Amino acid sequence: MPELQRLRADHAPALLAFEQENRAFFAASVPDRGDDYFAHFEARLAALLAEQAAGICHFHVLVDTDGEILGRFNLVDVADGCAELGFRIAEKATHRGLATATVRQICTLAATEYGLTTLRAAATLDNTASRTVLTRTGFVPTGEEILLNDRPGLGYVRSTADEV
């Protein structure tokens, strides 16, 4: 059974492999990270870990029993009891309910471990899978139309009150 773990420096090789192996799959539904992300991966990871240590963000990876990363689940821009949820799951791990189960787990962590009361998220209109995960886990559309790297999307919000 995969385990949700807080991102650590020793996840670096598996995280890079996850991002590289799934880059084309992700780009079909979420904004691409760009070549610069991969060229400066180690520095970018160090910056993320510093943000996490400062409490600005909470980064998580879903790790299989063999140490392979199957997904990323992040709470970013933490302020005033709110954070933005972002997630991505490996192509080979889709259609197994892992994203839905892990987003539920992140919502619980947000309330019980991080003291967050409200989570926001966004998904492009053509990303049916992510929009389905969001609605299945209690997120509701805000009616806000947004652009994610020039792609139309919707904003979502969810209270974590039920989690405590």
Tens digit of pLDDT for each residue in 80-139? 999 999 999 999 999 999 999 999 999 999 999 999 999 999 999 989 999 999 999 999
CB atoms closer than 10 angstroms to residue 121: 23
| pTM over cut 0.85 | yes
Residue 10's closest CA among 76, 63, 85, 87?
63
CB contact at 8 A, 118 and 82: yes
| pLDDT tens digits, 106-121 | 999 999 999 999 999 9
* Residue 151 to residues 28, 32, 45, 75, 76, Cα–Cα distance (Å): 11, 12, 26, 22, 21
For the chain, which residues make up each domain, given as ranges?
Answer: 3-163
Question: Domain 3-163 falls in which CATH fold?
Answer: Aminopeptidase (3.40.630)
